[in-house]
Chains A and B, each alone.
Chain A
Amino acid sequence: MSHSDRTAAQEPEAQEPSAQEPNGHGQAVHRLTVRDSPTPGTRRRPSSGSLLASELKQLFRRRRTQAMLLALAAIPVVIAVVVRVSSAVPPGRGPAFLDRISQNGLFVAVTAMLVSVPLFLPLTIGVVAGDTIAGEAGLGTLRYLLVAPAGRVRLLLVKYAGAAVFCISAPLAVALAGAGIGWVLFPVGPVALLSGDLVEPDEALVRMLLIAAYQAVSLLGLSAIGLFLSTLTDVPVGAMAATIVLSVVSQVLDQLPQLEWLHPWLFTHNWFGFADLLRQPIGWDSFGDNALLQAGYIAVFGALAYGRFVSKDVLS
């Protein structure tokens, strides 16, 4: 539950900081710089697997994380209920596929995934990724993590992996909740793709999982940006806000025709490219382009985060 679980387990002699107590970063008492090279042999290096497991446990046990996943799952529920109680939507109005929901419940998931792309998903990712390092620093637990012989690079990797797992679970929450509520409230049958061809519900589910995978990949770049911003500050809210603002700014820039040369380089540029997964045959080009672009962002901001975090004086 608390940040100290893993620190305490690995290092029983470490003092447990309590979350309520002001941790007083910046105080002279704490002004000892903790380096990531403890004397070898004195402590067992925890395996990366157990580090990741405890990171995930901590992440998904947090009320905040659970609340965000629940809020994401509520999007399709709201859409489905509204469509259910209101009159038919004329085609061509509102988000794509909205008019199809009453004919086929699986479109609830597609519509919900569509509307959550510009804001809701980046919002939750910003909170998780911005919190990675700065959150520990803000609570004063970062230096305990580094006293434990985990190594800064490994800590960074584990933190990023935790954020990546959230990137996978967030779109999945939308997709599964959407498919579930659609199945409950509406008839489910063969799904018409954008090309007009029909696919059976089981293949439609596969395509939905592919869309979730596409969105997860889309969010990995943003996570890397959030991780880097998180190493810059001890105030987690600052890193979260900066990450979210960046995702909005990037989307705004993507709309300006004057900046056409820049568009292919924006990490949000391919966020809506998952439409190609709803065509027959599936267009994989946009999936590949997006993956390449996000890999570039991960490499650049991962390297920046490394440079910053390894040379950082950890005071809190």
Chain B
Amino acid sequence: MTAIWLRWTPAVAVPAVIAAGVLAGSLPASARDPLPEKTPAQVLAMIGQHQTKSFSGTVEQSSELGLPDVPQVGPTPGAGTGSLAELLTGPHSARVYVDGPTKARIQVMDRMAERDAVRQGNELWLYNSKDNTATHVTLPAAASKESRSHDVPAGVTTPEELAAKMLEKLDGSTDVAVAEDTEVAGRAAYNLVLTPRSAMTLVGSVAVAVDGENGLPLSVEVRARGQQEPAFRTAFSNLTLGAPDAALFNFSPPPGASVKELAVPAKPNGMKGQVDKNRTGKDLADKNPAGRNTDNKDLRGHAPTVTGSGWERIVGIPAPSASAPSESGESGKQSVDRLLNDPLLRQATVTVQGGRAISTSLVNVLLTDDGRTFVGSVPLERLQAAAAAR
């Protein structure tokens, strides 16, 4: 009997060893020295001052917004790959290479496909391997530093940009604190937590991990009220400081790809609207985390109305008048219709009193029957009240 017991020992020991290894790996490394204490203001300043201009890394993004999932089956790229809502559901990972303000490459790694944005100087290439299309944009010389946040394609935003955007919005409406240190991509980081003081917003809290050494934001996590998992999270899963291989920024479309040239209007801002039309997703991605960056180029020319303040802000877009096409050639209503043409979003739309609504855990959108649109990080009733007020 002992002999038989001995013979089965490996079959018991091996899983035990694996389980122990997994457990040990999942425990946070406690041996690390704690970072020096800092106030929220000091951590904010670190972000503002960070000098990290060259790095390469992998960014993982995950969303639990309550939108339907895209099934990914078999040896084909996911059905919704490239669609707007697809970028806001499920996990995505992207490789990011940055060398100074004018050289950047972002690779969104899809299943059996990839979306690339490569910028070198004033040349911007967007490439999608799924349908083998490339878009070439020549940026005006003026669009130097600011436009960097704009050439990120569709959806995956680097933590750096997102943090800067959110910290701008800080005012009396938000409680800012530094929580216990965290570790992101193997680096010790300050954990800056922003909690809305208002109880009427859907946003529970926003946490930004700031590299303890150089101030680079390493992760952004947005939590919704009453939801266990983060509603939106983007974080570096690995990060290498230093200039990436320069050859990565040389891009020319492969033979056989259909290439589209995009003219850029003189105003640097116009570029964004143009790109948006072709690279869906940017507009909603902008709207998404803070939910209030709605001065979208698509919607311009219709004087959106803003009610409420801080986290409770509601943006109302009036119904388009047929005689006033916006300068980007597309009215707010049309862009809304375009959104609804996305099969996933159409699926997520429900009929409510006074119109239709798209409800996510962070943002609610109300499309009234008379063509107006209301957007805000507030409960749907507040949107309905805002719609009824006029």
**Docked-complex contact A114 and B112, CB < 8 angstroms:** yes
> A residues touching B (Cβ–Cβ < 8 Å)?
91-92, 94-96, 99-100, 103, 114-115, 117-118, 189-190, 192, 194-198, 255, 257, 272, 275-276, 279-281, 283, 285, 296, 299-300, 302-304, 306-307, 310-311
Given A304-B11, A307-B10, A192 and B75 contact (CB-CB distance below 8 Å): no
**Docked-complex contact A95 and B255, CB < 8 angstroms:** no
Return the chain A residue nearest B127 by Cβ: A196
18 A-B contact pairs sorted by A residue (CB < 8 Å):
A96-B130, A100-B132, A118-B74, A192-B132, A195-B107, A196-B127, A196-B134, A272-B75, A272-B112, A281-B248, A296-B18, A299-B14, A302-B14, A306-B7, A306-B10, A307-B7, A311-B3, A311-B7
**Docked-complex contact B255 and A192, CB < 8 angstroms:** yes
A304 to B7, CA, bound (A): 9
> B residues touching A (Cβ–Cβ < 8 Å)?
3-4, 7-11, 13-15, 18, 58, 69, 71-77, 95, 107, 109, 111-114, 116, 125, 127, 129-134, 245, 248, 251, 253-257
Residue in contact with A92 in the complex, picked from B3, B4, B11, B130, CB distance below 8 Å: B130
**Docked-complex contact B75 and A196, CB < 8 angstroms:** no
**Docked-complex contact A272 and B111, CB < 8 angstroms:** yes
Which residues from chain A contact B3 at a C-beta distance below 8 Å?
311
**Docked-complex contact A300 and B4, CB < 8 angstroms:** no
A197 to B245, CA, bound (A): 14
Which residues from chain A contact B76 at a C-beta distance below 8 Å?
94-96
**Docked-complex contact A196 and B71, CB < 8 angstroms:** no
**Docked-complex contact A195 and B114, CB < 8 angstroms:** yes
How many Cβ-Cβ contacts under 8 Å join chain A to chain B? 106
A94 to B130, CA, bound (A): 11
**Docked-complex contact A276 and B254, CB < 8 angstroms:** no
**Docked-complex contact A196 and B129, CB < 8 angstroms:** yes
**Docked-complex contact B18 and A299, CB < 8 angstroms:** yes
**Docked-complex contact B75 and A303, CB < 8 angstroms:** no
* CB-CB nearest 9 A-B residue pairs: A192-B254, A303-B10, A96-B112, A307-B8, A194-B114, A307-B11, A196-B127, A303-B14, A303-B11
Residue in contact with B256 in the complex, picked from A192, A280, A281, CB distance below 8 Å: A192
A289 to B18, CA, bound (A): 14
**Docked-complex contact B256 and A103, CB < 8 angstroms:** yes
**Docked-complex contact B73 and A281, CB < 8 angstroms:** no
A112 to B7, CA, bound (A): 43
**Docked-complex contact A103 and B255, CB < 8 angstroms:** yes
Which residues from chain A contact B131 at a C-beta distance below 8 Å?
91-92
Residue in contact with A300 in the complex, picked from B18, B114, B129, B255, CB distance below 8 Å: B18
Return the chain B residue nearest A303 by Cβ: B10
Residue in contact with B113 in the complex, picked from A118, A194, A310, CB distance below 8 Å: A194
A296 to B20, CA, bound (A): 13
Residue in contact with B109 in the complex, picked from A276, A300, A303, CB distance below 8 Å: A276
Which residues from chain B contact A303 at a C-beta distance below 8 Å?
10-11, 13-14
**Docked-complex contact B111 and A275, CB < 8 angstroms:** yes
Residue in contact with B116 in the complex, picked from A196, A300, A304, CB distance below 8 Å: A196
Which residues from chain B contact A272 at a C-beta distance below 8 Å?
75, 111-112
Return the chain A residue nearest B125 by Cβ: A196
Which residues from chain B contact A194 at a C-beta distance below 8 Å?
112-114, 129
A198 to B7, CA, bound (A): 54
Which residues from chain A contact B133 at a C-beta distance below 8 Å?
91
Residue in contact with B130 in the complex, picked from A91, A189, A257, A302, CB distance below 8 Å: A91
A307 to B8, CA, bound (A): 4
A261 → B minimal CB distance (Å): 12
A103 to B132, CA, bound (A): 12
**Docked-complex contact A96 and B77, CB < 8 angstroms:** yes
**Docked-complex contact B75 and A118, CB < 8 angstroms:** yes
Which residues from chain B contact A257 at a C-beta distance below 8 Å?
69
B271 → A minimal CB distance (Å): 21
A36 to B241, CA, bound (A): 58
